[in-house]
Every structure is written in C-alpha cells, then in structure tokens.
Amino acid sequence: MLKAFQWDNYYNTGIDIVDKEHQQLVNLLNALIGVLVNKQQITEKELFLLLDKLEEYAQVHFSDEEKIMLLYKNKQETNKLYAEHLRQHFRQHNYFMKYVASMREEYTNDSGKNKNSILEELAHYITVWLSFHILGSDQEMANFFAEFENKPRHISCEDKNLASHALLKAMEELYNQMARRNAQLLKAQAELSDLNANLEKRVEERTKELSEALSEVDSTRKRLMQSEKMSAIGQLAAGVAHEINNPVGFVNSNLGTLKQYVEHLLNFIKLYEDNIGNTNSETFKEIVRAFKEDIDYDFLKDDILDLLNESTDGLNRVKRIVQDMKVFLHVDKGEWEDSDLNQILDGTVNVVWHEIKYKAELERRYDQSLPRIRCVPAKLSQVFMNILVNACQAIETTPGKIILETKLSESNPNQVEVSISDNGKGMPPNVIKHVFEPFYTTKAVGKGTGLGLSLSYEIIQHHGGDILVESEVGKGTKFTVILPINLQE
C-alpha cells in the first residue's frame, strides 16, 4: 500500500542546504501521494503541474548537490575513492531523472485503464529511491565532507541502527520493484513480438533502462553489505569490551597491591634515613629485621616483579585486541600488501574470541612455512570473522570444536587454502546451494540479514579466489577459502 514518506532524524546529513532541499522534495512527493491515496479529483493539467514541480525541484537539488561535491573534488584531486563516489553519485542523479521521465511518457501514452497504477508505481519508486539514495550515497558524501574538514560526524547508535534498517528495507523494495518491472516488460515483449519494428525498438530500450537500474541497485547493494559489516562489528562490541575489561581489571588490582608495596618500601627507606648514623648498631639491626618480617620483605620483592610482569601481559593483551579491531574499523581504506595469513587469522580470533570461548574449543593447524600472499588484510579478516561467527552460532551442544587450518593447495602450488571447520548442526543440500545468495538466511527474524556470506564470497572473488563449503546435518560444516599467492591487482 502506498504510504507517505516519513522524514526522520537519521535522514539528516548535517549539510544545511542538502537537508532543506531533501525535505522540500519529500513535501512535493507527499503531495503527489496524498492525491493518489485520498483519490482526490484533480484535472490532468493540475497533475502534470505537480509532477513538473517535483521534477524541476529534483533537478535544482541535484545541481546544488553536485556543485558542492565538485568544490571538494578540486581540493581532493588525488583521492581516488572520492572520485569514484562522484562518478556513481552523478550517475544515480542522471538515472533518476531519466526513469521519472520515462514513467511520465508511459503515463501519457497509456489508454486510460492503467494510468492510476502507473502513477502509484512512480510515486513508490521515488519514495524508495529517495530513501536509499539519502541513506546511502548522500550519507557517504557527508562522511567524505566530514573527513575532508576533519570534523567527525556524531551519530547515535539508535539512529545508525534505524538508518541501516531503513536502507535495507528501501533496497529490498527497490530491487523487487525493478524485478517486477523487468518481468512486466519481458512479458510485454513476448506479447508484442508481432507488432512493428518501432514498438520492438521501444521495448528493447526500456529493457536496457531496467538493466541499468538493476546494475545501479547492485552497486547500492554492495554499499549495503559494507553497512552490514559495521553492524556485525557493533554486535561484537560487547564481547570485545569484556575481553578488554578482564586484563584491565587485574591490572587495576595489581596497581592497588603495588601501591601498598611501594608504601612499605618508602617507609623502609625512611627508617634508614631517620637512623643514618646508627645503622651499624645492634638495636637498629633488630628494628630492620622486625620491619622486614612485618612487611614480609622476601615475598614482597619477588611479588613486585610478578605483579609487573602480569600487568605488562595484560596491557599487551589489550593492545593486541585494539590493534585487531582497528583492522576492521578501517576496512574501507585497506590497501593491498604482502601478508601472513596465519597472523590475519589470529587477529580475527582475538576480535571474536568472546563469541568462541563460551561455545567451542579452538584448534589451530597452521602451516608455519606458508608463503605471504598479496591481499587486503582487512577484507580477508572480514571474511574470516563472518565464517567464525556463523560456526559459533551453529554449535548447539557445548563445548563444541572449531578447527583453523592453513596449507599450500595440493592441486595448485600457486594457491593457499584456509579452512574453518565446526562440529555444529550442519546444513542440508537445499540450504548449502543458497548460502552465498544475498538476503538468504536460516536465522530467526531480526537475527541476521543474510548478507555476511554473500559479502565474503564477493571479497574472495575480488582476490581471485574461491570459497567451497562442505556440510552434513548433525556432523558440522567446513568452509575452505582458496587464494592465489601472487595476485595481480
């Protein structure tokens, strides 16, 4: 059912002119939706006037937005990521105007019986397109601007979650609408195959437009998958905090004990200072023996070193966790480099350890002679994180077992293999064939979006590799990631 566009805080980009124009666009859109929902009787001339206002204001907004982006481009000439963002962003604006114009043409040429449904479809398209464009490309644009101005954006976790859900919903609705439109046109193409060449050409052109639309939706889906990655990190945050809190807790306790020890030693030094001229007397020596016995001096001097060593180990543990988390937080800025797969796996385990330690024993079977490979470590960590978390969630009887194995490929000496096995509940064949499809999930509603493995598959393909999966119900699952050693970027 067609509904008005509900504006909320998480649509704001923090750029005044952009946010004001977005809200004006929403007002014009809701005016059109109001006519359709309330079945208001207006003339076709009045309707076209309303559509003209909407199109014209969209063009004004796109022009203003692009001028701002070009100003920053002149200051960021070497920023390839921003240049690619501009290309995609401008392309979305251009496609939107073409699609709206084509729908208007379809409405004008219709004989009359489908006019209202065409208008409803147009209004629905504009609604979902605005939603995913504002929450996707425009928010990404705002993030670039904040980075360039060195003014980080402060967005609440609640708004981030609401925005992610709204973006996912808009993405699915737009994808479904494009699919429906494509199916309708394919059907029309079959029914009109006996008409003249001009009509056939028109159908081909429309099919091409829809293919471009699906391509655009696919591009947006990739960005949505990056959002899914950040959502997964958010879910792990509590576990990471717990892993940091444990060593910090005993370091704090050790500092309290050290404070007492230092006070004892300072008092011991003061004892010598107060008796500087009598240190050789038997009376003073007896006082010293009694004082050392009172503070348990022999134990104290050994325990001080133990406390310092324990505290150093704890702080090193915190340091490793923070360093490993930084890998995930900078995934979008990851660079290609020669990396040690065993180290990447260990770093990922540190991040998800809170998920693992209560569910399974972890066994490492690393080939220590494994050659370094050309990769983006942050992205491979993301893949391993998705698989490890899924393995933990598949284990229903604790303690389970997870095995990490690295080795040279037996069939190809120019490839390496990373396998992650679990003894969880396993998957039947009808589930295995869908595991890498976007939005496919067997988890309960609200427990997963079905994007983790789809994203992982794309990352491995981008690395010139492959992911294989073996599973048996009741016995467990094994994912094998195959990667080339020397990939040409």
pLDDT in tens, 101-128: 988 888 888 877 778 888 888 888 888 8
The answer to whether 55 and 96 have CB atoms below 8 angstroms apart is no
Per-residue tokens: 381: 């960590």
Model confidence at 22, pLDDT cuts 50, 70, 90, reads very high
Query: Which of 127-136, 173-182, 194-203 is predicted least confidently?
Result: 194-203
The answer to whether 55 and 99 have CB atoms below 8 angstroms apart is no
247 or 323, greater pLDDT: 247
* DSSP summary character for residue 9: G
Mean pLDDT of 433-439: 80
Q: How many residues does the chain have?
A: 489
Query: Which of 29-33, 328-332, 401-405, 462-466 is predicted least confidently?
Result: 328-332
Instruction: Say if residue 466's pLDDT is above 90.
Output: yes
- Please give the C-alpha separations between residue 106 and each of 23, 125, 170, 298, 385, in angstroms, as whole numbers: 27, 14, 24, 93, 48
Per-residue tokens: 372: 């370094």
Please enumerate in sequence order all residues whose Cβ is within 8 A of that of 263, keeping only pairs 6 or more positions apart, or say none. none
The answer to whether 95 and 211 have CB atoms below 8 angstroms apart is no
Instruction: Say if residue 415's pLDDT is above 90.
Output: yes
Q: Rounded CA gap, 88 and 102, in Å?
A: 21
Model confidence at 225, pLDDT cuts 50, 70, 90, reads low
The answer to whether 423 and 401 have CB atoms below 8 angstroms apart is yes
Instruction: Say if residue 35's pLDDT is above 60.
Output: yes
Model confidence at 242, pLDDT cuts 50, 70, 90, reads low
Please enumerate in sequence order all residues whose Cβ is within 8 A of that of 479, keeping only pairs 6 or more positions apart, or say none. 387, 419, 420, 421, 467, 468, 469
Query: Which of 48-62, 231-245, 373-387, 457-471 is predicted least confidently?
Result: 231-245
- Which tens digit of pLDDT belongs to each residue from 41-74? 778 888 889 899 999 999 999 999 999 988 888 7
Q: Rounded CA gap, 355 and 391, in Å?
A: 10
Burial group, residue 232, by CB count within 10 angstroms (0-12, 13-18, 19+)? buried
The answer to whether 347 and 324 have CB atoms below 8 angstroms apart is yes
Helices (H) and strands (E) in the chain, counts: 13, 7
Instruction: Say if residue 342's pLDDT is above 70.
Output: yes
The answer to whether 181 and 203 have CB atoms below 8 angstroms apart is no
- Which tens digit of pLDDT belongs to each residue from 443-456? 654 455 566 788 88
Burial group, residue 345, by CB count within 10 angstroms (0-12, 13-18, 19+)? buried
| Residues paired with residue 240 on neighbouring β-strands, in sequence order | none
The answer to whether 423 and 475 have CB atoms below 8 angstroms apart is yes
Model confidence at 164, pLDDT cuts 50, 70, 90, reads confident
- Which tens digit of pLDDT belongs to each residue from 70-81? 888 877 777 888
Q: Rounded CA gap, 320 and 426, in Å?
A: 32
> How high is the pLDDT of residue 422?
94
Query: Which of 8-22, 25-39, 92-106, 221-235 is predicted least confidently?
Result: 221-235
Closest among 242, 462, 446 to 352, alpha carbons compared: 242
Q: Rounded CA gap, 297 and 291, in Å?
A: 8
Instruction: Say if residue 138's pLDDT is above 60.
Output: yes
**pTM of the predicted model, to two decimals?**
0.43
102 or 230, greater pLDDT: 102
- Tell me which H or E stretch contains 365: strand 360-365
Helices 341-357 and 297-329 meet at what angle, rounded to 10?
110
The tally of CA atoms less than 13 A away on the side-chain side of residue 89 is 25
The answer to whether 352 and 325 have CB atoms below 8 angstroms apart is no
Instruction: Say if residue 196's pLDDT is above 80.
Output: no
The answer to whether 420 and 403 have CB atoms below 8 angstroms apart is yes
Q: Supply the mean pLDDT for the chain.
A: 82
